[in-house]
């Protein structure tokens, strides 16, 4: 509160009154501050992200290198998290597997929201038959079970990382399109859109410059929700062997391999599970905090 | 007499609604010369705003305009233009200022962005040049600290300031015709005069023509050259402003003028409201639309729809106009 000075002059002899403004400002700042439930998960996410992005530079043994001396070993020197049942370094596999999980976690929502954004903008802005057709397409798409689509993609494209991202992304399209459409409907009839039209702006220009900046916030919130979902779904797919192919490690894959020796070496399955749990939880907590902040900003702007 | 900028001929605009066709603008014709201001007055629902949007060709998709309606701007017929041609014209040739500056500015873009937007795509200015020009425009419309304001968002500005920004955007491309659709209705009374003075100055300095739409007779009195009074989608009287006030012919205009409270009135005097309501434009009466509310109406008024008559200077649509012996 030191930086907030009283705006009114007071008699020096009078007992210093508590400055109401200062309290209000301080309370406001406190309410705006990100708490520990933001920063602890954020630090974890940064650690995970840095570890995965710069995986080749840590001097870890290659994720598929077999150490014949230590097979299915608990943590020992040289293998800080031990080795799996084939003698591969668990830490290295988790780090390299994280690259797959995080790639899918970010790429899938962006693919889904990107395509859903285009469909939703068209439907919400032009209305009429475009809205009808897109609405029917989305309903049809929702009627197909997601698992079938994922299975189909993994069968046809055989576990390429890109196709895993695409297939997961496709599942996010309907919700993203609906959110975009609803938000677009809200803004497309506003007077500033008419004003832009009156100044000669084309439809694409209006969508890009007038509507899009207004609807970006709900979409960001949606992406923040989808990232952990994508990570979990990718983990499940890997567990079922429907994601990237062995020997490429992924968190779900490592858990699946560890399952076979769960009774003798539980750490092989447990460590990647815990890592994944913490990462997903962190994404959720951080996403929540950011969403709340965005809501504040939006309210302030109106 | 200067050159004619706008020539509207028999503009009719109807909307398809669930109840039927609503004839919002019903055969409006007028011309407007460079440097002159036409006031369009009428109560709510008289078709003033629809007329302005019809001129801009900014009508919603359920609007119907018959093929014989013409809007000729600078010698070119807007009704025959494609959407692409219209887009090139909106801004550099015709611009509009809306009633409520709270809603006509985008809340998430800085006002600088909203002005430079227009400058970059109509005038082909580069980023820096556009920004400098935007600051210049903001200074021209009397916004204090334009170099600071240019980076602010609409919510950081007061209503009057926002309307100044809207005016800056409208005049950014030096249009020949400026339509001001109730530009001061949403503003504080004290700011109204400032904004109207500003508009008047802009029109004079830049030699534009302006259509000033309002429901306020007082706004029209000091600032327009000609006045058109609209009722139920039609122009019912059109005259130079002095003639309209001093030689009123149409009973509706007279009733509008009488409804303005006078400063000399005793306190607590009952306001002279016009009895009744405007006609239903979906099922309009066969005769004069004002006849049911008119004190001078007779049987003829209910049967026959009057057309604009009189001299080219002063026209009125009435069978029993004021200032004439009522036929026996």
Strand order in the sheet with B94-97: B94-97, B177-181, B209-214, B37-41, B226-231, B234-240, B315-316, B309-310
Give the one of B61, B90, B153 whose C-beta lies nearest to A199's C-beta: B90
Pick the residue with more confidence: B269 or A211?
Answer: A211
- CA–CA distance, A116 with A173 (Å, rounded to integer): 5
Which tokens hold the place of B295?
């004190």
Cβ separation B58–A197 shorter than 8 A: yes
Instruction: Give B260→chain A minimum CA distance, Å.
Output: 30
ipTM rounded to 2 decimals: 0.85
Sign of CA dihedral B93, B99, B100, B101: positive
pLDDT in tens, B221-254: 888 999 999 999 999 999 999 999 888 888 899 8
| pLDDT at position B326 over 60 | no
What's the gap in Å between the CA of A89 and the closest CA on chain B?
51
Question: Are B104 and A209 in contact (CB < 8 Å)?
Answer: no
CB pair distance less than 8 Å for A214 and B166: no
| Chain B residues whose beta carbon lies within 8 Å of the beta carbon of residue A190 | 103
Q: d(Cα A123, Cα A159) in Å, to the nearest integer?
A: 33
CB contact under 8 A, A195 and B96: yes
Q: Is A213 an 8 Å CB contact of chain B?
A: yes
Radius of gyration, alpha carbons of chain B: 21
The per-residue pLDDT for A15 is 59
pLDDT above 90 (res B71): yes
Q: Please, which residues have CB within 8 angstroms of residue A260's CB and are 6 or more apart in sequence?
A: A85
Q: In this complex, is the C-beta atom of A199 within 8 Å of any C-beta atom belonging to chain B? A: yes
Of A158-162, B101-105, B109-113, B190-194, the poorest mean pLDDT is in: A158-162
Partners of A210 on chain B (C-beta within 8 Å) are 106, 109
Across chain B, mean pLDDT equals: 88
| B117/A209 CB distance under 8 A | yes
**What tokens does B28 get?**
């409006």
Report the alpha-carbon distance of residue A85 to residue B51 in Å, rounded: 80
Ordered domains of chain A (ranges, CATH): 33-301 (1.10.3720.10)
* Whole-angstrom distance, CA of residue A278 vs CA of residue A272: 10
- Identify which of B239, B127, B145, B106 has the alpha carbon closest to the alpha carbon of residue A212: B106
Optimal mutation site among A130, A198, A204, A301, interface B, most CBs of chain B within 10 A: A198
Q: Does A2 touch chain B (CB under 8 A)?
A: no
Which range is least confidently modeled, A167-181, A246-260, B6-20, B98-112? A246-260
Distance CA B243, CA B226 (A): 9
Highest mean pLDDT among A31-35, A286-290, B146-150, B317-321: B146-150
| A158 and chain B in contact, CB less than 8 A | no
CA B255 to chain centre: 20
3-state SS, residue B177: strand
A200 part of contact set with chain B, CB < 8 Å: yes
Q: Cα separation of B149 and B13, whole Å?
A: 40
Q: Report the residue count for chain B.
A: 328
* Section B269-296 average pLDDT: 84
Q: Are B53 and B59 in contact (CB under 8 A)?
A: yes
B63-64 and B4-17 strand pairing: antiparallel
B98 neighbourhood in chain A, CB within 8 Å: 191, 194-195
Whole-number Å distance between alpha carbons of B75 and B9:
13
Assess whether pLDDT exceeds 60 at residue B86. Answer: yes
User: In sequence order, which ranges of chain A are alpha helices (DSSP H)?
Assistant: 20-32, 36-53, 90-126, 128-143, 146-157, 161-188, 191-198, 203-205, 212-239, 251-259, 267-301
Q: Which residues of A touch B155 (CB under 8 A)?
A: 301-302
Measured between beta carbons, which residues in chain B are less than 8 angstroms from residue A196? 106, 117
A204 at interface of B, judged by CB pairs closer than 8 A: no
pLDDT of residue A54: 87
- What distance in Å separates the CA atoms of residue A226 and residue A21, rounded to the nearest whole number? 40
User: Residue A2: its pLDDT value, please?
Assistant: 47
Share above pLDDT 90 across residues of chain B, in percent, rounded to a whole number? 42
Cα–Cα distance measured from residue B116 to residue B95, given in angstroms and rounded to the nearest whole number = 16
Considering only CB atoms, A192 lies closest to which of B61, B91, B103, namely B103
The verdict on a CB contact (< 8 Å) between A205 and B121 is yes
Nearest-angstrom CA–CA distance, A252 and A98:
10
Largest CA distance in chain B: 72
**DSSP letter for each residue of A67-118:** -SS-SSPPSBTTBTT-B-TTSBBHHHHHHHHHHHHHHHHHHHHHHHHHHHHH
pLDDT over 70 (residue B133): yes
pTM for this model (two decimals): 0.80
Q: How far is A169 from chain B (nearest CA, A)?
A: 29
Residues of chain A with pLDDT below 70 are: 1-18, 296-302
Which of A195, A294, A301 is the best mutation test for B, with the most CBs of B within 10 A? Answer: A195
Set of chain A residues whose Cβ sits within 8 Å of the Cβ of B153: 301
* Paired tokens of B2: 């200067």
Q: Chain B residues with CB-CB distance to A under 8 A?
A: 56, 58, 61, 86-92, 95-96, 98, 100, 103-109, 117-118, 121-122, 153, 155, 166, 169-170, 172-173
Cβ pair A17, A38 in contact under 8 A: no
DSSP helix/strand/coil, B49: helix
Do residue B155 and residue A213 have CB atoms under 8 angstroms apart?
no
User: Nearest by CB to A301, which of B89, B90, B153?
Assistant: B153
Q: Which helix (H) or strand (E) holds B26?
A: strand B20-33
Contact call for residues B272 and B258 (beta carbons, < 8 A): yes
| pLDDT tens-digit series, residues A49-94 | 998 888 888 877 777 777 777 777 777 777 777 787 777 888 888 8
Q: How far apart are CA A230 and CA A109, in angstroms?
A: 7
**Other CB atoms within 10 Å distance of the CB of residue A122:** 20
Give the length of chain A: 302
Closest Cβ opposite residue A195 in set B87, B104, B173: B104
Say how many CB pairs under 8 Å bridge A and B.
70
Most B CBs within 10 Å, among A192, A204, A299, to test the B interface: A192
Compute the Cα dihedral for B260, B265, B270, B276 and give only its sign. negative
Which among B90, B121, B153 has CB closest to A198? B90
pLDDT in tens, B199-220: 998 888 888 999 999 988 888 8
Is the separation of the CB atoms in A91 and A80 below 8 Å? Answer: yes
Q: Which residues of A touch B181 (CB under 8 A)?
A: none
């Amino acid at each position: 509160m030191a930086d907030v000075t009283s705006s009114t002059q007071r008699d020096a002899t009078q007992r210093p009154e508590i400055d109401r403004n200062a309290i209000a400002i301080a309370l406001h700042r406190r309410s705006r501050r990100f708490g520990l439930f933001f920063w602890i998960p954020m630090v974890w996410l940064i650690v995970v992200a840095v570890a995965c992005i710069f995986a080749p530079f840590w001097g870890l043994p290659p994720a598929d290198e077999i150490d014949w001396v230590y097979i299915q070993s608990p943590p020992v020197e040289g293998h800080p998290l031990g080795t799996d049942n084939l003698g591969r370094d668990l830490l290295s596999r988790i780090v390299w597997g994280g690259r797959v999980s995080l790639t899918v976690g970010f790429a899938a929502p962006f693919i889904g929201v990107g395509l859903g954004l285009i469909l939703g903008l068209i439907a919400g802005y032009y209305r009429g038959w475009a809205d009808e057709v897109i609405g029917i397409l989305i309903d049809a798409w929702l009627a197909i079970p997601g698992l079938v689509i994922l299975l189909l993609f993994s069968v046809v494209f055989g576990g390429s990382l890109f196709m895993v991202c695409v297939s997961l992304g496709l599942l996010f399209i309907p919700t993203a399109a609906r959110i975009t459409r609803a938000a677009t409907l809200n803004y497309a009839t506003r007077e500033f859109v008419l004003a832009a039209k009156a100044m000669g702006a084309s439809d694409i220009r209006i969508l890009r410059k007038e509507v899009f900046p207004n609807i970006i916030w709900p979409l960001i919130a949606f992406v923040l929700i989808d990232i952990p979902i994508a990570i979990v779904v990718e983990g499940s797919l890997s567990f079922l062997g429907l994601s990237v192919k062995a020997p490429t490690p992924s968190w779900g894959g490592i858990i699946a391999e560890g399952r076979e020796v769960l009774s003798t070496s539980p750490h092989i399955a447990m460590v990647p599970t815990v890592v994944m749990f913490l990462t997903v939880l962190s994404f959720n907590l951080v996403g929540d905090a950011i969403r709340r902040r965005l809501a504040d900003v939006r309210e302030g702007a109106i | 007499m200067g050159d004619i900028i706008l020539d509207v001929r028999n503009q009719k605009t109807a909307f398809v609604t669930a109840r039927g066709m609503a004839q919002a603008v019903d055969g409006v014709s007028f011309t407007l010369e460079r440097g002159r201001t036409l006031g369009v007055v009428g109560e709510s629902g008289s078709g003033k705003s629809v007329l302005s949007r019809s001129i801009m060709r900014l009508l919603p998709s359920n609007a119907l305009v018959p093929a014989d309606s013409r809007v000729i701007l600078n010698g070119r017929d807007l009704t025959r233009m494609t959407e692409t041609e219209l887009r090139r014209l909106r801004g550099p040739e015709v611009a509009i200022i809306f009633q409520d500056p709270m809603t006509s500015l985008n809340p998430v873009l800085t006002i600088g962005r909203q002005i430079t937007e227009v400058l970059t795509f109509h005038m082909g200015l580069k980023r820096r040049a556009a920004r400098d020009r935007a600051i210049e425009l903001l200074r021209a419309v009397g916004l204090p600290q334009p170099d600071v304001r240019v980076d602010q968002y609409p919510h950081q500005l007061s209503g009057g300031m926002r309307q100044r920004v809207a005016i800056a955007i409208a005049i950014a491309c030096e249009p020949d015709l400026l339509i001001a659709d109730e530009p001061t209705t949403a503003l504080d009374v004290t700011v109204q005069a400032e904004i109207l003075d500003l508009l008047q100055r802009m029109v004079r300095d830049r030699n534009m023509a302006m259509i000033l739409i309002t429901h306020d007779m007082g706004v029209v009195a000091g600032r327009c050259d000609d006045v058109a009074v609209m009722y139920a989608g039609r122009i019912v009287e059109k005259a130079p402003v002095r003639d309209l006030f001093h030689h009123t012919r149409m009973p509706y205009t007279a009733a509008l003028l009488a409804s303005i409270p006078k400063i000399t009135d005793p306190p607590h005097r009952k306001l002279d409201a016009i009895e009744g309501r405007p006609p239903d434009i979906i099922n309009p009466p066969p005769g004069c639309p004002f006849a049911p509310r008119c004190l001078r109406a007779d049987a003829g008024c209910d049967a026959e729809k009057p057309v604009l008559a009189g001299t080219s200077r002063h026209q009125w649509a009435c069978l029993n106009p004021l200032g004439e012996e009522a036929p026996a």
